[in-house]
């Protein structure tokens, strides 16, 4: 089926089912075009919490769709492809975290949303890359903190807030591929360009960046900066929104072809199938959901 026909069919089904399509910036460009909203993790969580649609088709990796279900249990949340998971989220098992908590009963656990519902249920508060600093700064000063599962966002936040924390050694394989060598090569080609990095990048990249922020923050920065050219240190799906919002600016991916393969599973064809077949429904055990919601709600209340 050609894209215009597919899009029309998706619109019909969406209206019939009172459905909304939420997509992350890393999904394929055509999927972003089908979406009612495209955003970063924080924005998509907020939208999932307040939409009055009956069905949410979540185009993102599993932890994002799970967050939507945790926040809106009465809604049907569908993922177009249940294989789309985040490797970083699998770098910490609930059992490991429970053991850690038994051994460190005073410790406050901050969970980056890139983790399973079970990990969120064990955490005191969640954060995203857009609000990690704010979340960590809000914690009582006299308690030890464990930040899970991303070592790079954890380390970046520790430095920017000036707060000692233990950091779990997880990482994002896509952002881990960015190196100082790639940056030096890109800078040699585009010496006037600002370098904008996602905080999931290795710490030497964040340290070398002119700006570090979430996907939405990077997109905003291009529009607000006086610079004309930018090297983008995150998954290249964000280039679509940057080019649409700032057509007068020139953007280069730090590493051509560096994509999140899981986000790219969210194809337009699967979005249509999700609506046609009501598949695949996200389910979260009620006990887990209630505890995970507390951690998400604490974050959303800030």
User: By the criterion CB under 6 A, which residues form the site for ligand 13P?
Assistant: 40-41, 114, 128-130, 172, 200, 214-215
For residue 18, what are its two tokens?
A: 């009172």
Other Cβ atoms less than 10 A from the Cβ of 32: the count is 22
Interacting residue with ligand SF4 among 61, 125, 132, 218 (CB under 6 A): 61
Q: What is the b/e burial string over 140-175, where b = at least 16 CB atoms within 10 angstroms of the residue's CB?
A: eeeeebbbbbbbbbbbbbbeebeeebebbebbbebb
Check binding of 68 to ligand SF4 (CB under 6 A).
Answer: no
Check binding of 262 to ligand SF4 (CB under 6 A).
Answer: yes
Rounded Cα distance between 82 and 79, Å, is: 6
Binding span for ligand SF4 by CB under 6 A among 43-51, 83-91, 120-128, 201-209: 83-91
Check binding of 235 to ligand SF4 (CB under 6 A).
Answer: yes
81 binds, among ligand SF4, ligand 13P, none (CB under 5 to 8 A by kind): none
Rounded Cα distance between 295 and 3, Å, is: 39
Output the CA angle 104-133-290, nearest 5 degrees. Answer: 60
| Contact of 27 with 60, CB cutoff 8 Å | yes
Rounded Cα distance between 190 and 65, Å, is: 38
Q: How far is the CB of 55 from ligand 13P (least distance, A)?
A: 22
Binding span for ligand SF4 by CB under 6 A among 15-23, 47-55, 80-88, 182-190: 80-88
Rounded Cα distance between 239 and 251, Å, is: 7
Contacting ligand SF4 within 119-148 (CB under 6 A): none
129 binds, among ligand 13P, ligand SF4, none (CB under 5 to 8 A by kind): ligand 13P
Q: How far is the CB of 102 from ligand SF4 (least distance, A)?
A: 28
Please say which residue, 112 or 230, places its beta carbon nearer to ligand SF4: 112
Check binding of 260 to ligand SF4 (CB under 6 A).
Answer: yes
Rounded Cα distance between 216 and 56, Å, is: 21
Check binding of 174 to ligand SF4 (CB under 6 A).
Answer: yes
Interacting residue with ligand SF4 among 263, 272, 282, 296 (CB under 6 A): 263
Interacting residue with ligand SF4 among 45, 67, 72, 114 (CB under 6 A): 114
37: Cβ–Cβ under 8 A, 6 or more apart, which residues? 20, 21, 22, 23, 43, 44, 47
262 binds, among ligand 13P, ligand SF4, none (CB under 5 to 8 A by kind): ligand SF4
Cis amide linkage into residue 167, ω under 30° from 0: no
How many residues form the binding site for ligand SF4 (CB under 6 A)?
15
Check binding of 27 to ligand SF4 (CB under 6 A).
Answer: no
Query: Which stretches of the chain bind ligand SF4, using CB under 6 A?
Result: 26, 61, 86-88, 114, 172-175, 200, 235, 260, 262-263
């Amino acid at each position: 089926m050609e894209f215009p026909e597919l899009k029309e069919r998706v619109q019909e089904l969406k209206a019939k089912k009172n459905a909304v399509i939420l997509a992350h910036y890393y999904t394929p460009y055509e999927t972003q075009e089908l979406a009612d909203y495209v955003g970063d993790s924080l924005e998509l969580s907020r939208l999932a919490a307040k939409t009055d649609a009956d069905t949410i088709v979540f185009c993102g990796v599993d932890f994002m769709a799970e967050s939507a279900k945790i926040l809106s249990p009465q809604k049907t949340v569908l993922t177009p492809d249940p294989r789309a998971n985040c490797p970083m989220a699998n770098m910490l098992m609930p059992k490991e975290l429970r053991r850690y908590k038994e051994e460190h009963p005073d410790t406050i656990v901050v969970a980056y949303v890139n983790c399973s519902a079970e990990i969120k249920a064990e955490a005191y508060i969640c954060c995203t890359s857009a609000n990690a600093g704010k979340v960590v700064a809000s914690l009582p000063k006299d308690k030890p903190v464990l930040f899970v599962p991303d070592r790079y966002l954890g380390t970046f936040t520790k430095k920017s807030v000036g707060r000692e924390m233990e950091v779990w050694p997880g990482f994002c394989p896509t952002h881990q591929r960015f190196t100082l060598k790639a940056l030096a090569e890109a800078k040699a080609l585009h010496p006037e360009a600002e370098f904008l990095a996602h905080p999931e990048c290795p710490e030497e990249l964040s340290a070398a960046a002119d700006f570090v922020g979430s996907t939405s923050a990077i997109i905003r920065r291009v529009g607000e900066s006086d610079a004309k050219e930018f090297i983008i240190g995150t998954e290249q799906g964000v280039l679509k929104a940057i080019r649409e919002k700032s057509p007068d600016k020139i953007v280069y991916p730090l590493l051509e072809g560096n994509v999140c393969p899981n986000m790219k599973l969210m194809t337009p064809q699967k979005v249509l199938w999700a609506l046609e077949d009501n598949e695949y429904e996200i389910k979260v055990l009620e006990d887990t959901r209630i505890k995970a919601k507390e951690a998400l709600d604490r974050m959303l209340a800030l």
